[in-house]
Structure 1
């Protein structure tokens, strides 16, 4: 798919044949196969599917689609954490140094500390300041950070990493490739959970990694085949099906987030409202020049757990859920997961409801916390 098309067109057409064939569906159904027929004389042949742990046409369709949107070669995994762990385990050896965001996804931090023996792990806030990358093997960024929504300058950090001989990877889960394209900004790798806004229907678990280097992509594919960390074909098909509405979903989610952030900022019981698209947000300056679209996630703080409980109980439109990026507006009190967050910190993921309805519901739910 060439780059002259807009976001919606690319999302609808990505990973699909350029020319339609009469009698064939818009998106072929998932290929369910463990073994495939082999040539009875020649045996397995290059480019012909042989065994389901290494080859599946449905994966390839999804990978082609995500690769077009991210601007690199995509390798699909069964979850975002599987993609993150594959990137770390293929690129790091004992004696190497890894730089991670101290405010990023807590399971990625836990994995790095507990499952990379001999690797030195340094934690840095997403907003910086960043140390020298001399002697560092891999820098993993998460921008916007989850759940705090700080943003860092990918291009500047990619340049620093390159000059120091380090690889730079970016977790693009919150932004999605329509929000920012880290590979174009100089990153070597992109990792992401496709379970969130990318697919957006809250009906699958999936992840991926993308690279511009064929060598890096090949290492990830080899790792996936050898460890068996493969995605299911039905999940891959669901993901590819969902990409067609990505631009439409993100547009409404971002519109809702902008309105909700302004409402929250005007409420006296609400503290520390964060949304990178808001002019008063600390991340606004970097986000406004780096990001093509601000995601539909807003983070804010209520005075206590009791306030959050009352808010969620009173709401008619907001579901309590730990994932984000779906069609339905959800909220998650992050401290309940042992994350290093204030008791009243809420990550609100705006869905695609009518903006007026969502604002009225949020206001009414906040009013219900007045007695807490």
Structure 2
């Protein structure tokens, strides 16, 4: 198998042909020519059901995930499509208490008609005996967003499967290069590709990857009938952006490591967490299952005003509620309703020169 960088550059590409571009442009179509009076075989016939531009990127992402990828227009569309495809009225769903808040809101509001039994457990556990009993789906998020706690995917998948439950992992923070949950026993892996995979803060996209053919067909059916489809131009841009994923992640992780070290001893900062630090509580478990470290770290300042001053005094860091882009950003998570202190910061390290970024952040804090 080729390495990460090679697969990012060449994933989903077509056979080279003289005079053709390295990457064909996006296919724009609502209906396609049927070639006669009836649909022929598996050819495309209507844009909501299929598009060759989707399939190219799905091939590339599926190769990184180690499964069959289904592309969707956002990370929440990926979560919603998976939950709609798997859950039935009265099912038991296990969720992280500290995962992405919109997932819990979606379950509470949009799936209320299913009358689900929802059991919430912190990502770092402990997962008590019997928590998976009768469950239909266990949704993990590791490292968690925004707390960066980690759970043991392989051990929890084994327990959940023994209880008859499916396991899905939100892999947004880790990325397909940082972690491969399907190889660790998960039945599905999903991500908001708006973040690191697209990586330039200008696209919304998401995906779900699975290995089970029946589950893949159900996901396709839900996508088709709900109309939760990605636009071809955005898909094409995402595929183009993915070529530099390996390079971007390497610089982001380098910057996150340097920032975590510099901030750990700073008088104005507390609670620095980054799974790549040997001293981090999640480091041991993360080291067993993550293939590389990411560019997201967290820490706490005194209050909301201290976070505001950090952003206003910095010349390189912007305030934004996303992560994984080439620009370094700060997000004060309490403003969105996450149960964290007012000065809690999720910091997304970008691709700036490491020395410049660290100097800028320290100067803004001082």
TM-score bracket, normalised by the shorter chain, equals over 0.9
Correspondence for 1:272: 271
Q: Are 1:61 and 2:60 an aligned pair?
A: no
Q: Which residue of 1 aligns with 2:6?
A: 9
Secondary structure class of the residue paired with 1:32: coil
Superposed CA offset, 1:324-364 (max 9, x none): 10000001000111221110000000000000000100100
Show the counterpart of 1:241: 240
Aligned to 1:128: 125
- Residue by residue over 1:177-221, the C-alpha shift from the partner in whole angstroms, topping out at 9 and shown as x without a partner, is 100000000000011100001110111000000001011111000
CA deviation after TM superposition for structure 1 residue 118, in Å: 1.2
- Is contact 1:276-1:283 (8 Å) kept? yes
Q: How far apart are 1:46 and its partner, in Å?
A: 2.3
Q: Aligned-pair distance for 1:149?
A: 0.2
Pairwise CA distance, 1:160: 0.8
Cα deviation 1:30-65 (Å, max 9, x = unaligned): 001111111223x11222110000010100001011
SS at match of 1:38: coil
Establish whether residue 21 from structure 1 lines up as the match of residue 20 from structure 2: no
Distance 2:197 2:184 in 1: 20
Q: Equivalent residue of 1:183, what SS?
A: helix
* Paired residues of 1:8 and 1:248 also in contact (CA < 8 A): yes
Report the TM-score when normalising by structure 1. Answer: 0.96
In structure 2, distance between residues paired with 1:148 and 1:319: 20
Give the match for residue 50 of structure 1.
45
- Give me the whole-angstrom Cα distance separating, in 1, the residues matched to 2:305 and 2:86: 44
Which residue, out of 102, 108, 114, partners 1:107? 102
How far apart are 1:278 and its partner, in Å?
Answer: 0.4
Q: Tell me, yes or no, if the aligned pair for 1:327 and 1:351 is still in contact at 8 Å.
A: yes
Q: Deviations over 1:104-128 (max 9, x none)?
A: 0000011112222311111110001
SS of the residue corresponding to residue 107 of structure 2 reads helix
CA–CA distance in 2 between the matches of 1:52 and 1:358?
A: 44
| C-alpha distance in structure 2 between counterparts of 1:122 and 1:301, whole Å | 29
Query: How far does residue 95 in structure 1 lie from its aligned partner after superposition?
Result: 1.4
Q: How many residues align?
A: 362
Equivalent residues of 1:93, 1:118 under 8 A apart: no
Root-mean-square deviation over aligned CA pairs: 0.8
Number of the residue aligned with 1:370:
none
Native 8 Å contact 1:138 1:167 kept in 2:
yes
Query: Which residue of 1 is the match for residue 32 of structure 2?
Result: 36
